[in-house]
Chains A and B, each alone.
Chain A
Amino acid sequence: QSVLTQPPSVSAAPGQKVTISCSGSSSNIGNNYVCWYQQLPGTAPKLLIYDNNKRPSGIPERFSGSKSGTSATLGITGLQTGDEADYYCGTWDSGLSTGGVFGGGTKLTVL
Chain B
Amino acid sequence: QVQLQESGPGLVKPSQTLSLTCIVSGGSISSGGYYWSWIRQHPGKGLEWIGYIYYSGSPSYYNPSLKSRVTISADTSKNQFSLKLSSVTAADTAVYYCARGTTSSTWFGPWGQGILVTVSS
Q: Which residues of A contact B113 (CB under 8 A)?
A: 43-44
CB <8 Å contact, A90 and B106: yes
Is A2 within 8 A of B112, CB to CB? no
Establish whether residues A98 and B48, one from each chain, have CB atoms under 8 Å apart when the complex forms.
no
Residues of A within 8 A of B36 (CB): none
| B95, closest chain A residue (CB) | A44
User: Is there an interface contact between A99 and B108, defined as CB atoms closer than 8 Å?
Assistant: no
Q: Is B34 an interface residue (CB 8 A)?
A: no
Q: How many A-B residue pairs have CB under 8 A?
A: 73
Q: Hey, which chain A residues are within 8 Å of B39, CB to CB?
A: 100
Interface range, B side: 20 to 34
**Interface majority SS (helix, strand, loop, mixed), chain B:** strand
Closest-CB distance, A102 to chain B (whole angstroms):
4
- Closest B residue, CB atoms, query A97: B64
Q: Which residues of B contact A32 (CB under 8 A)?
A: 106
Contact B64 A45 (CB under 8 A): no
Chain A: interface size category: 20 to 34
The A-contacting residues of B in range 90-121, CB under 8 angstroms, are: 97, 101, 105-114
Task: State whether A102 touches B49 (Cβ < 8 A).
Answer: yes
Partner of B111 from A44, A51, A56 at Cβ < 8 Å:
A44
Please give, as numbers and ranges, the residues of chain B lying within 8 Å of A2 by CB-CB distance.
Answer: 46
CB contacts (< 8 Å) of B110 on chain A: these are 46-47
Q: B105 — which chain A residues lie within 8 A by C-beta?
A: 33, 35, 50-51
Per the 8 Å Cβ criterion, residues 84-98 of A in contact with B are 88, 90-92, 96-98
Q: A44-B97, A44-B114 are in contact. Are A101 and B49 (CB under 8 A)?
A: yes
| B106, A88: Cβ atoms closer than 8 Å | no
> When chains A and B are docked, how far (Å) is the Cα of A99 from the Cα of B66?
11
CA distance A47 to B1 in the complex (A): 15
**Contact assessment for A90 and B114 in the assembled complex, using a CB-CB cutoff below 8 Å:** no
The answer, among B64, B97, B111, for a CB contact under 8 Å with A98, is: B64
Q: Are B107 and A102 closer than 8 Å at their CB atoms?
A: no
Point out residues on B near A: beta carbons under 8 Å.
Answer: 37, 39, 46-49, 51-52, 61-65, 97, 101, 105-114
